[in-house]
Amino acid sequence: MTAKAEVIDSIVSAIEEVEGLHPATGFGLDAVPWLPRGGKSYAVDLTPALVEIRVAASELPIPPLLEKLGGAVRALLQETAWATATVRLVVEELYDDTESRRKS
């Protein structure tokens, strides 16, 4: 695995650790098991100047969720080639997760 792939994998894990946020993937990508992390890695773009992370939110208010994720990502990027990159968090989708929470 490359350093870039490892960083992306770590960022996806960080997204999944914030309750109320999930990686935003293209329609159907999350159901394709042979893609890296089931397509979830497509929620992260890394360039030397910009780290863009696309998320879906299922809880409000959103700013505290983004602050938590932003802090986690900044910590992950320290000591990497992306340490000085701008981190952009994009909320692409809002959805109601009430039904799945009732089942668990």
Query: What domain range is 73 assigned to?
Result: 3-96
What is the average pLDDT across 4-31? Answer: 86
For the question of whether the overall pTM of this predicted structure is more than 0.85, the answer is no
pLDDT tens, position by position, 66-87: 999 999 999 999 999 999 999 9
Question: Do the domain assignments include residue 63?
Answer: yes
pLDDT tens, position by position, 24-73: 976 554 555 555 555 788 899 999 999 999 999 999 999 999 999 999 99
CA distance 56 to 73: 16
Domain count, the chain: 1
Question: Do the domain assignments include residue 104?
Answer: no
* CATH number, position 27: 3.30.70
User: How far does Cα 41 stand from its chain's mean position?
Assistant: 8
Token readout for 69 is 């994720």
pLDDT at residue 2, as a whole number: 72
Q: Considering only CA atoms, which of 50, 51, 8, 44 is closest in space to residue 25?
A: 44
